[in-house]
Structure 1
Amino acid sequence: MKRILLLFLLLYGCKQEEEKINIPRGSEFTKGFTVYESISGDRKWFLKADSAITEKDRIRIYGVHLKFLDREDIRSVLTSDSGFVIEKTGDLIAYGNVEVLTKDSVKLFTDSLSWDNRNEKILVEGVFHYTGKDEEFEGEGLESDPELKHILIKKRVEGKGRIEE
């Protein structure tokens, strides 16, 4: 009886379920995806993802880790469960547990956001939570630079701290 139980535990412990990812026909799957965006030799951002699926005009990414750069200095870091990169524009859409953390320890949390690559703006259509050094607030609809220093709140806001209009 002990041998059967031990054998069962060994077999069960060694069994690993592989994560199933639906890969559309005509797409490519990549594990360990990395891409840079640079203008005139200056890196603007650096994206790493655990995996990616290259589709027709976009790249679906999982385990997103995006560093916004100012030359080689990190301005802020965006993480999310998944997202898309639009190949033609370099725009990004991030989904699931989205967090932006700046070098000044300012944090932005939301369910989804977009990165407008051309205008270098973070855009949130839905609800967000912001935590700064001396302020904390929630709102709906946001536009900001990657360092979360110049924020435009579009719909509503409530919280505590100093907010300039």
Structure 2
Amino acid sequence: MFKVLSFVICVLVFICHLSFGICHFLFAAEQAASEADQQINEFSLVGFGEKGKKSWDLSGKSADIFGQLIKLQDVVGNMYGKEEDIKITADKGDFDKTEGKVHLEQNVVITTSSGSKLTTESLDWDRKNKLVTTEEVVNITKENMTTVARGAQGEPNLNKVTLRKDVQVDILPQTKEGKTKDEKGKIIITCDGPLEIDYAKNVAVFKNNVKVDTQDNLMYSDTMDVYFLAAKDGPEAKPQENPENSPMLMGAKIEKIVGRGNVKIIKGENISYSEEVTYTSFDKKIVLTGRPKLVIYSTEDMDASFGN
């Protein structure tokens, strides 16, 4: 689910090849008079990787060159990988050759061949500081999971991504065939942010005023670690030769949730308190540790717990 954020870095990298002579390319251009130093209409770029295999392409309706600044219109890019293909589109884009920065804006959409989709209104890639960032609202969809947050930051090694604030993650249950069920059993996780995602460890860490709504229970804590099953976990999964080099394999199924600090769980009229809580999804079991306290408001629940 979250891995589409990491793809942003890969896609923006090849845009900077506009200024470097290390790629093979083709310009289908018509020169036009303009305030720009040069204007190129209907341009296309193609990059090749190992053994001359096409690795990416980039096209647009126009590119205005203002010295060190290249302004792009109707940007469409594709990146072809071993595991997934990526497509990015944006209405506008700027590339500053001096600063090594790429800015995309207006209707920025990134899709992957596996079904991930990211939408936002702007993205920035800082080549010198090796960061991809946006201050805009980010919407991410992947299979049974939808994520909304304001602001995002990614590192170039693809291992870590941070969603900055106002985070909400909706997770729908799936059938064995991978189809999404109805909203019964949906899990909603919210936090003030940030949300820090570590793909190598298959964990997402929610921070500050974390709330988990499993429909059966409400869980609150200061921080919460959500562990995901790897995308290829299962009886038919094949072992990865270099799993440490494949951080984007984190799947969309929760294995367990661990909350820490000021834990509160509400189930019906009853409230539990503790310093730590562990929730396992396969059996929906909740374990409280660290001075647990249970406040029971329903005598029926108390009678049931004692077998009366």
For the aligned pair, the TM-score class normalised by the smaller chain equals 0.5 to 0.7
* TM-score computed with the length of structure 2 as normaliser: 0.39
**What is the aligned partner in structure 1 of residue 75 from structure 2?**
64
**What is the aligned partner in structure 2 of residue 81 from structure 1?**
91
Pick closer, same or farther for the CA change 1:76–1:122 going to 2, 3 Å.
farther
**What is the aligned partner in structure 1 of residue 167 from structure 2?**
157
- Counterpart among 33, 39, 45 of residue 43 in structure 2: 33
Q: CA-to-partner distance for each residue in 1:88-125, whole Å, 9 max, x for gaps?
A: 56642111111010121111111111234567754222
Amino acid at match of 1:64: V
Pick closer, same or farther for the CA change 1:101–1:22 going to 2, 3 Å.
farther
- SS, match of residue 164 in structure 1: strand
- Counterpart among 123, 129, 135 of residue 113 in structure 1: 123
Greater length-normalized contact order (CA 8 Å, ≥ 6 residues apart): 1
Residues 78-157 of structure 1 mapped to structure 2, 5 A cutoff = 78-88=88-98, 91-117=101-127, 122-144=132-154, 151-157=161-167
Q: CA-to-partner distance for each residue in 1:112-146, whole Å, 9 max, x for gaps?
A: 11234567754222111111112112101113479
CA distance in 2, matches of 1:22, 1:123: 35
Larger Rg: 2
Q: CA-to-partner distance for each residue in 1:68-89, whole Å, 9 max, x for gaps?
A: 3437x76311101111123356
**What is the aligned partner in structure 1 of residue 61 from structure 2?**
50
Pick closer, same or farther for the CA change 1:105–1:139 going to 2, 3 Å.
same
CA distance in 2, matches of 1:103, 1:89: 32
* TM-score computed with the length of structure 1 as normaliser: 0.67
Q: CA-to-partner distance for each residue in 1:24-81, whole Å, 9 max, x for gaps?
A: 2x5211111223567888876432111110111121000101223437x763111011
CA distance in 1, matches of 2:80, 2:129: 15
Pick closer, same or farther for the CA change 1:133–1:39 going to 2, 3 Å.
same
Amino acid at match of 1:83: G
Bigger shift: residues 123-132 or 89-98? 89-98
CA distance in 2, matches of 1:145, 1:104: 22
- Give unmatched runs, 5+ long, in structure 2: 1-31, 172-186, 188-202, 206-308
- Give unmatched runs, 5+ long, in structure 1: 1-20
CA distance in 2, matches of 1:155, 1:49: 33
Pick closer, same or farther for the CA change 1:104–1:91 going to 2, 3 Å.
farther
Bigger shift: residues 79-88 or 114-123? 114-123
Pick closer, same or farther for the CA change 1:76–1:90 going to 2, 3 Å.
farther
